[in-house]
Chains A and B, each alone.
Chain A
Amino acid sequence: MANFVVSGTPHVRSKESIQSIMRDVIIALIPATAAGIFFFGLPALILIAVSIIACVVFEWLYQTLLKKPVTISDLSAVVTGLLLAMNLPASAPIWVPIVGAAFAIIFAKQLFGGLGQNFINPALAGRAFLLASYPTEMTTWTAPVGFSGADAVTVATPLATLKTGVMPDATLQDVILGTNIGGCIGETCAIALIIGGIYLIAKHVISWKIPVIYILTVFVLTAAIGRDGLRQPVYEIFAGGLMLGAFFMATDYASSPVTPKGQVIFAIGCGIITTLIRIFGGYPEGVSYSILIMNLAVPLIERFTEPKIFGALPKVKEAKKA
């Protein structure tokens, strides 16, 4: 007689998988990636390709050498590689993404147990490592010359100009579209990032809470604190890496809170630290560090924001009893 399969319930599963989620993140990053290549030309394309390949190769290498199941097909290394490249200046030498990928994949991700176990965002960890180790390569910004063949002259980012107390030449339209401004490959075209973010929210890959509250917090605080003589909250939320960070980095599953209330606290925290670094800190931009710092607070936040269960009993007050 036939043997029948015996298994635990449920016997039907949704179609969604880790791979399909990662695929959605990649789809959501296509507009910003295309914009980055359009503005910064061939060097951007090469950096993106090298970064993705390096991340996948390091993951495969680590897992093969340690005789672990190889999980590169889940596409998470591709996402890390793409995000890492988005956080690099187009002028970075080709070895920069390779070093960054090694740190992101091996140190930030695999040593802690791989996908889902990393307590900080691997791409951001890679970027932070690069920024600390190679500050010159990581902060040399070039003008968006695209494929025109013109020499890419060095420029300051809008946020760096703001830091000096001067309103940048780039208009609000420029920082929304990414025209005429310097910056990381993937961060300059705010509108492309917003389109990708809306796609992720519509596909239920991420919740609206973290990006919207994060951006709102920066907006409100920038408006409230202001810089010396400059109060440009609308301009500031589109400039720099805020859109990239809010939609694609702060929402990283492994390093952000699972609980709905926790996500709100996390997003507010990111917003506060970002604004403080931007206005009072040594760096012109604070998105990466604010997310990394809040990543570290996630276990604590989750501990205090566990949702109320259905049919929760009223809390017994021990003190009163005694």
Chain B
Amino acid sequence: MTAPSLAAAPAALTGRRNLEGNEACALGAIRAGCRFFAGYPITPSSEVAETMARELPKVGGTFIQMEDEIASMGAVIGASMGGVTAMTATSGPGFSLKQENLGYACGAEIPCVIVNVMRGGPSTGMPTRPAQGDILQARWGTHGDHAVIVLAPASVGEAYSETIRAVELSETLRVPVVVLLDEVIGHLTETVDLGAVAEAPGIARPFATGPREGFLPYAETADLVPPMPRPGDGYRSHCTGLTHGPDGFPTQNPAVAAAALTRTTDKLVLHRARIESWREQATEDADLLIVAIGISARAARQAVKDLRAEGLKVGLFRPVTLWPFPETPLREAVAAAGTRKVLVPEMNQGQLVLEVERVLAGRAEVTGLSRIDGETLTPDEIAGAAREALK
């Protein structure tokens, strides 16, 4: 038997469908070539697993419900090591449990996609209530320095298209990608044109094809993405979570160790233009710029319309790629408009605002707006805070 191919025909996903954000993530992953899903039940993300359990067998994929969150992350990495595109989905407590193996995937550069549907925390928190409290955990949840990509859809259509992009970035750059939804986007039902992304991007993992003799599984290539050896192809290489050199074996040589870690983080810097994605609404002359993600950005969009109707110059900057944060585009938007004030509404005690403050570093006055009671921020709340800031 030969190894499954990523080029396997995607499911016949066409037409307009009414979908939940969670379902859209599952279908997007299948559209992008995901053929393995391991999960564990958790509110409010279970529909991702349920959709995968129903759809994956139809396209020759494999679904498995594992014994716990840790195991499902391990199984996803194991499948990906075998050369098959793999994904899992979870929410806060499960996301915490997945962090160690997520770090393994960062260190060993194993492609995988993790959908995290944010709910109230900490701990068991408010399982059925929305929150955006995992913004920093998604970036820094696992221990040690590491590179990771986090995408933050704000609609069901985007849950579909961004999960496709998550698979593409993960496979081509050999890096874990987190699709970060809040509970509202996960359970929101909207119409999605599944065929709108028919020309799916070139999703192809760089598999090793050269000579077996002297093969280095973590060689420093020009694009900083080493071709991945696939079991059965004759490379017989080693893969470890220990710090390893180009040969894949553990090292404590200071120069080799530093170079290895630097390459995995430099990789995302080199490919930044491909990774970064953001949307701007009425930013060109904005005195005040709102920076928000997910459902908070949806509320902010309405607030911008309402404030513009009042004659206030307010715009919205929405990072779709949350990490690495689109810092240059934000600085440029602020500089181009001569923006004086920036408002960061988010459903936590102030996480995104820290990054915005760091990025703008005094270029504009940054204010946060928090809501942590399990309810969403409303357009009126955001508009009120914007008026206050502009006074």
A and B: partners? no
- Please give the residue numbers on chain B whose beta carbons come within 8 Å of chain A beta carbons, in ascending order: none
Seen from chain A, the residues whose Cβ lies within 8 Å of a Cβ on chain B are none
